[in-house]
Structure 1
């Protein structure tokens, strides 16, 4: 009988891996840990593994990659792969793949849910009624409630998730514009929406700005003080992509000044956000100036039971396809094969 391959899972959320084992059977022997620090994983596990399934809680640094003596593939269990040093993997001849084909509809639904929560005053109405069922039973004097029909929805990035969110925003009769320098000319014609040339143009025209791009050296803090200042007064900011895209201290100041009407964040630069940055500290204290203008969720936009099952199933299938069939899927560090042993 062929000896099973060793796959290291250094930061598993669920140590049983029943889903993954159901896909791979006895062809793979999983080494499962629930750690966030690579140093907590024995060196022998790094050096002996044939592949790695990594979630989002551990960073695969160049120092870790240097230990991967036998690793043939790293699969990021999710879409974003900024916690894995793709260049170090490339130099080591190790392909890196992600799982882009799960959770798209969940993330798109979450973005619109945040927007609707803010523009329909749901948080304010709930708080008022909870405090006093009689006095709180009124519709007026809510911070952000407004009509979104006819408002301009500005999408930064128009990949799978951006497209899914765009379709939902358009269904609410919003005018959608987008910026994405990596898509070919004419892409906007296929979508039937307007493409703008610069981020500055998008910010100045949009009533709602929503981010749908990966985190990289190029995109880190792409929304900071200058960019928020370019937004229309009374604009709304949504980030359901990566926390490092947005300077949350700048968001705090833009909200407090009144220039930004509201913000919805599913992701934060540090997760969990401990100690709390000023924005979250003000939200925790229920400071009056922020009431009804801010909504935050714990990097949960991707989640549903069905989406979670897809993510884990597809990750295991990617392992099988490459390790046993030589078919590489969803590679995100092209050029690795030039360095392969």
Structure 2
């Protein structure tokens, strides 16, 4: 029986017990913990039958050019912007992702960030830690407001956008969305108002939340101009991809008070530069920003169950294609032409 050689160049966890439990003795894993492709010998790239890549390494066109025997790349996760899908297409290599894990965790995380801000949890906790008696006061905290009746604007209505919208509606928020890639009438099945442009979402929503992939069309889709179009006093959430947002422009919008608060699970640079204006102000708990920004370390997807799903589904996708030719969740169509 042929044993497939599968390269894992940037293993987040080196044990691969879950993956081996799926693929058994059919696959030999070549496991590395690198972020630079050059740290892996060319002979390994050229000899592997497939690649399981996490999010820590960029698979550029130069790397793809070395994949002489590779039949499949599986991105262990949803976002695939760290893999040059066009270069893979030109080499006849399909690229797949794992869209069917972590949806509920990410949606829960978005609402958790929103609730943390609008219920003042960070401010209350900081006050009471500093002075349990004197800080035992409800009034005079930033952002706190009633959610019921506000408008929640979702940018993108795929799996996660839909899950977030359902949760927002459960908190009596009015939900609207924009998504030019969904067919007409999609909104009728959801029972949610659909608008045609991002500008309309920005103008009408009290809370704007991003749920789109990162690509050439969406990169830095939220910059100074877009933040200025949002309602004054609104809240901004990004649990999708860091590259969607110009964080310096967000810093300025928060600093001048046009945006009341923001929650970010993702950043353009991960880990972030501690000296960037927004991160520096947040770390120092500067008075103008205190209680108005919540950050988490690209963790919205995470739970033990979600992690297990992600790794299990990745291994299943890998084995089904290598062994039986069944391709699932392909994200670079045309690779076979």
TM normalised by structure 1 equals 0.98
Paired residue secondary structure (2:288) = helix
Deviations 1:187-211 (A, max 9, x none): 0000001000110011000000000
Moved more, 311-320 or 272-281: 272-281
Partner of 2:57: 58
Residues 1:47 and 2:46 aligned together: yes
| Deviation per residue, 1:14-51 (Å, 9 max, x gap) | 11100000000000000000000000011111000000
Residue 167 of structure 1 is matched in structure 2 by 166
Please list every run of at least 4 consecutive aligned residues from structure 1 whose deviation after the TM superposition is greater than 2 angstroms. none
Task: Please say if residues 168 and 175 of structure 2, whose CA atoms lie closer than 8 Å, have aligned partners that are also in contact.
Answer: yes
- Distance in 2 between residues matched to 1:214 and 1:17, nearest whole Å: 27
Q: What secondary structure, in the 3-state scheme, does the structure 2 residue paired with 1:22 have? A: helix
Q: Which 5+ residue runs of structure 1 have no aligned equivalent?
A: none
Moved more, 157-166 or 269-278: 269-278
Match of residue 222 from structure 2: 223
Give distance in 2, aligned partners of 1:309 and 1:276. Answer: 35
Check if 1:205 corresponds to 2:198: no
- The aligned residue for residue 14 of structure 2 is 15
- The residue number in structure 1 matching 2:138 is 139
Asked if 1:232 is matched to 2:226, the reply is: no
Distance 1:319 1:260 in 2: 44
Aligned-pair CA distance for 1:247 = 0.5
Partner Cα distance (1:196, 1:159) in 2: 15
Give me the whole-angstrom Cα distance separating, in 1, the residues matched to 2:40 and 2:177.
43
Query: What CA distance in whole angstroms lies between the structure 2 residues aligned with 1:272 and 1:144?
Result: 27
Q: Which runs of 5+ in 2 are unaligned?
A: none
User: How far apart are the structure 2 equivalents of 1:314 and 1:37?
Assistant: 26
Asked whether the 8 Å contact 2:154–2:208 carries over to 1, the reply is yes
- Corresponding residue SS for 1:288: coil
Comparing 151-160 with 273-282, greater Cα deviation is found at 273-282
Deviations 1:291-323 (A, max 9, x none): 100000000000000000000000000011100
User: Distance in 2 between the 1:210 and 1:275 partners?
Assistant: 25
**Which residue in 2 is equivalent to 1:309?**
308
The RMSD of aligned alpha carbons is 0.5
Counterpart position of 1:37: 36
Whether 1:75 aligns to 2:74 is: yes
**SS where residue 321 of structure 1 aligns?**
helix
Residue 129 (str. 1) matches residue 139 (str. 2): no
SS in 2 for 1:45: helix
- Give the match's secondary structure for 1:295: strand
Deviates more, 1:271-280 or 1:57-66: 271-280
Shift in Å, 1:3: 3.1
SS of the aligned residue for 1:94 comes to coil
Once residues 196 and 316 of structure 2 are traced to their aligned partners in structure 1, the CA distance between those partners, rounded to angstroms, is 39
Count how many residue pairs are aligned between Structure 1 and Structure 2.
337
Q: Which residue of 2 is the match for residue 27 of structure 1? A: 26
Does structure 1 retain, via aligned residues, the 8 Å contact 2:273–2:279?
no
CA distance in 1 between counterparts of 2:297 and 2:304 reads 16
Give the secondary-structure state (helix, strand or coil) at the position aligned to 2:115: helix
1:67-87 alpha-carbon deviations (Å, 9 max, x no partner)? 000000000000000000000
C-alpha distance in structure 2 between counterparts of 1:279 and 1:80, whole Å: 24
After TM superposition, give the deviation of residue 276 of structure 1 in Å. Answer: 3.4
Distance 1:276 1:299, change over 3 A: farther
Tell me the SS of whatever aligns to 1:255. helix
Partner of 2:272: 273
1:149 aligns to 2:148 (yes or no): yes
Question: What secondary structure is seen at the aligned counterpart in 2 of 1:337?
Answer: coil
For residues 45 and 55 of structure 1, what CA distance do their matches in structure 2 show? 17
Q: What is the CA distance between 1:277 and its match in structure 2?
A: 1.4
Question: What is the DSSP-based 3-state SS (H/G/I as helix, E as strand, rest coil) of the residue aligned with 1:328?
Answer: coil
Partner of 1:261: 260
- The TM-score normalised by the length of structure 2 is 1.00
Using the TM superposition, give the Cα deviation of residue 285 of structure 1 relative to its aligned residue in structure 2, in angstroms. 0.7
The question of 1:333 aligning with 2:315 is answered: no
